[in-house]
Structure 1
């Protein structure tokens, strides 16, 4: 009986905590980051100069390949006529993580900003190796290119490196 309980505890802990090696914040050299959270959600951020983008979603792993599935946050946009009567409702991308009911002027203001949700799309598949996340190309190969950074002539690899704790 004790042996069975021990094996069951080891199996459950391995299944539950097996994803912990992937959890963390990963940065590339081109202003992008991906945070893989322990609850199987992720946040992808892009920040460069005055522009920015954020995307949230769920992630899962299979054989060190991480699959990211974007889950967009939408607001309900109310459009009114000049008398204040509601004409229609539409779903639009939210400017923040909260689902809200917004008016046209709020939507226009958020559209004019240089940042927002899902403006730079996250990769859909990444390969994890030695605390690095490698992009996977359309043909299934790893993206091992080196790109020249615009602020220097130095070339950098395109992978995401895990932040040290």
Structure 2
């Protein structure tokens, strides 16, 4: 995918742009919807499984947001709105762990806006795994993340892990 000219991009607000979904956008949203549906089903028919499902969905969504370039999807205004709505639906009658997708979503946008303000360009998070950080090339932006992106990825990851731990600790305290 070639680099998109900044002037041809249609920004709506908060440096969010209006653009069509790609196949993977649909797949991620469908996965989140399935996770929410599993939670609703379990809460009605298998109450003993609701904590495990809530925890799993929350860790997958939150972990993906803070440890990979997944958050680049959030610059699409339509994807962000749908993710926000799904995160709010997931919160209904749920544990504190259900806050993880919402809080990591908000955290990503805060980090992204700070990055935009300081660097006048899109934040491209690094991929993290196996104790390492790997540069990611955004084909839409036409560039790899650089050392500034890496520093902000570390901030995103650190605060995101703290959010996950605090939500998990709060849930454990309520269950005990």
How would you bin the TM-score normalised by the shorter chain?
A: under 0.3
- Relative to the length of structure 2, the TM-score reads 0.26
Larger radius of gyration: 1
Which of the pair has the greater relative contact order for Cα pairs under 8 Å at 6+ separation? 2
Give 1 or 2: higher strand fraction.
1
- Relative to the length of structure 1, the TM-score reads 0.28
Give 1 or 2: higher helix fraction.
2
